[in-house]
Structure 1
Amino acid sequence: MRKQLLQELMLISEEEKKYQSGQGNIEKQLYAKDSISEIDRELLLEKGRLITVRPHSRFVDFPEHRHNYVEMMYVVQGNITHIIEGKELTLHKGDVLMLNQQVRHAIRRAEYEDIGINFIALPEFFEIPLSMLHEKNVLAEFIVGAFRQKDPVSHYLLFRLQEDPQVENLMENMIVSMLHKHANEDAINQYSMGLVFLYLLNHLESLSHNSSMDYKETVVQAVLGYINSDCKNANLTKIAADTHQSMTVLSRLIKQKTGYNFQELLQHRRFETAEHLLLETDLSVEEIALDVGYENQSYFFRQFKERYGMTPRKYRLEHYKR
């Protein structure tokens, strides 16, 4: 981060000076009209604005609360620990945490070197970022959930980015824009946030937590479903398109969640199916090879023998039961 901006963010505010001197409790009137259990956007966001930023207040524990706005925390340096639904999540430099309105969470005391920036946004702010995402994906689902007034979706997303330079640059630009009130800042920041989301979609393997669903698990289960339902025709290019992932990200997710690459999973399913057909049908070996996706008969024979220690015909003779 730019040195001048970092120095500005590290300045101790008047509020923080009170906590540092031992006052101990959150100044409720700065955050809530009634109970600190619900932080009110009207006290943090100027009328007519769609988004603002606020450095996270250090030297004090934040009790459990929720917001009537969407919050994103970006960690500039150090560590900040949230407790969400009983889970203790420590954010490190470069991490991005997105919290929907209904998420209840507490925050452990942050020290002088721990700098987090809170983006405080109305759901309407995300209309342009949502339009930039185009297709159904984890971020689009999160934003759509934020728009639900009667039945909002209660969940969060945590991306562990390890100081991604593109995201860092975009975050810095938005922070500077909002701290110093640049012209047309809402529109500029909406497009900047859309770019951040597009970069985040390239790092789904870094998506650490999602309280309402494990998105990575959902995607991988969809892949396994494709393989199991049609192992003859399943291919990674089509599955990537259908699950709205890039080939690279999808390959990483599959390996991360299963320990195997796509081709290994596909071959396992094909030979599992071939074994079943050998024992349960009268199809010829050649027909079975074609049925499970192998037009190259010699390759099928070699792979089968390598896996089972015998040819398909011998396997059928030894295991076939009537």
Structure 2
Amino acid sequence: MIQNQSLAARFQELTDSERMFRELYFAKKEPDQLRRYLASLPQERQKPVRDWLQAEKGVILSELTENLAEFDFSDNVIVTRHARYTPAFVHKHTFFEIVCVLEGNCVNRIGDTCLSMSDGDLCMISPGVYHALQETEGSHIFNILIKHYSLMETLSNFLLQKNALAGFFIQSLYMKNTKHYLSFHTKGDREIQHLLEALILEEVSAEERSRDEQHSALKEAYLNALLNLLARSHTEAAECEGISVANSRLIFEIQKYLTSNLQTATLQSLAEHFNYSPSYLSRLIQQSAGTNFSKILRRIKINKACSLLSNTDLNVNEIGEQTGYRCQRQFNRAFQDVIHMTPSEYRKQHRLLLL
């Protein structure tokens, strides 16, 4: 149950979208009723509703990115409310998601796993994992969304820790055979609930007033505090696939060095930093991450480039140089291989969200 009365009062009434989803929710209970409902819709609404029904069956698979207009990803961390009665459409996304059940119940289908969630449950979902959320009537569910390419900046100190939660984030970013989810049961933990509600309230309050320069910093501080409390008190009871903390720690230390030396880093310089031979370090990276040094370095360079494209006015040539690409053509090709659009296209899409 939501403890903060100011927060609870904001979500008593259904929004226009929720009323529309509610009509569909009850119409789906009987085939004849659904046919009549679809026939009664204006022509322009029929296709979106039919698409939702197809997506709910998994016939249409959606991919959500940081560049979609419905997500204001001008901050590294955003909080959205899961609209009540939303169809359980199958989708994946390029960002991290934390599903938070403040009140009620839902079934979170993640890949082949059906995860039952109730009051106080939180579930971290990796980028690129297909999932769908089926809630029960009257639930209050929120999603914390975290930019994948700025994760190291947002959670820099937390990711240095040796625990399963930090390991989950590192493996999701840089290692193959990514763990799909990590779920926590925190019902009765008042500190966790207080932090969650403070984070949500900070987000919704900003929608009603002009954002100040503390808004983004506060959300990141609340998130870091929340993750630290989860790591301290709830990791032993967490539901997850196996996570290798030792391997994740090594990959994080490698990532930290490469980030600080993007323009000059090589396998040789990295090996010297860790006092390994290049051949041994190469094998160690392959065993730990399931990928090679070059691919990890490229991923880190492109993550940094995304951040610079989104948050600075540097031109594309300068960003290529700052991320270690002396040839503009090489930078463009590497960026397209990872992000599937040119740096200019990425900047244009993201800047539209900031205007």
Report the count of equivalent residues: 209
Match of 2:14 in 1: 12
1:10 to partner: Cα distance: 3.6
Measured in 2, the distance between the counterparts of 1:172 and 1:70 equals 19
1:263-282 to structure 2, matched below 5 A, reads: none
Confirm or deny: 8 A CA contact 2:18 2:85 kept in the other structure: yes
Q: Does 1:194 align with 2:194?
A: no
Give the alignment partner of residue 118 of structure 1, picking from 139, 143, 153: 143
- Measured in 2, the distance between the counterparts of 1:57 and 1:126 equals 30
1:6 Cα deviation after fit? 1.3
Distance apart, 1:27 and its partner CA = 7.3
The match for 2:193 is: 168
Q: CA deviation at 1:100?
A: 0.9
Show CA shifts across 1:46-96 (max 9, x none): 253212111112213322211111101111111121112222211111111
Structure 2 counterpart of 1:96, which letter?
L
Deviation at 1:133, TM superposition (A): 5.1
Letter in 1 for 2:8: L
Which runs of no fewer than 5 residues in structure 1 stay unpaired?
219-322
Which residue of structure 2 lines up, in the alignment, with residue 56 of structure 1? 82
Structure 2 unaligned spans of 5+: 29-48, 248-355
How far apart, CA to CA, are the structure 2 residues paired with 1:95 and 1:26?
A: 31
RMSD of Structure 2 on Structure 1 (CA): 2.9
Distance 1:26 1:186, change over 3 A: farther
**C-alpha spacing 1:215/1:80, structure 2 compared with 1 (3 Å):** farther
- Secondary structure of 1:178 counterpart: helix
- Hey, what does 1:96 align to over in structure 2? 122
SS of match in other structure, 1:41: coil
Partner of 2:102: 76
What is the CA–CA distance in structure 2 between the aligned matches of 1:120 and 1:97, rounded to whole Å? 12
Call closer, same or farther: CA 1:196–1:209 in 2, change over 3 Å: same
Pairwise CA distance, 1:20? 1.0
For 1:207 and 1:158, the matched residues in 2 are separated by 9
Whole-Å separation in 1 of the counterparts to 2:238 and 2:64:
26
Higher mean Cα deviation, 114-123 or 182-191?
A: 182-191
Q: Deviations over 1:130-173 (max 9, x none)?
A: 4135322211112223433x958342110011131111111111
Does the C-alpha gap of structure 1 residues 109 and 80 become closer, same or farther in structure 2, counting only changes over 3 Å?
closer
Structure with the bigger RCO (C-alpha within 8 Å, sep 6+) is 2
Is the Cα–Cα contact under 8 Å of residues 77 and 144 in structure 2 kept in the other structure?
Answer: yes
Counterpart mapping for 1:145-294 below 5 A: 145-148=171-174, 153-181=178-206, 182-183=211-212, 184-204=214-234, 207-211=237-241, 213=242
TM-score, scaled relative to structure 2: 0.53
Q: 1:40 to 1:126 in 2, by over 3 A?
A: same
TM-score normalized with structure 1 length: 0.58
1:275 match? none
Q: Percent identity?
A: 20
State whether residues 99 and 144 of structure 2, in contact with CA within 8 Å, keep that contact through their aligned partners in structure 1.
yes
- 1:89-128 CA distances to partner (integer Å, 9 max, x unpaired)? 11111111111102211221431x2010011220214534
Assess if the C-alpha contact under 8 Å between 1:157 and 1:210 holds in 2. yes
Opposite residue 139 of structure 1, the aligned amino acid is: L
Q: Please identify, of 158-167 and 54-63, the stretch whose mean Cα deviation from structure 2 is larger.
A: 54-63
Higher alpha-carbon Rg: 1
User: What CA distance in whole angstroms lies between the structure 2 residues aligned with 1:62 and 1:186?
Assistant: 30
Work out whether residues 80 and 144 of structure 2, in 8 Å CA contact, stay in contact via their aligned partners in 1: yes
The answer to whether the 8 A contact 2:165-2:235 is kept is no
- Cα distance change of structure 1 residues 206 and 102 upon mapping to structure 2, 3 Å threshold: same
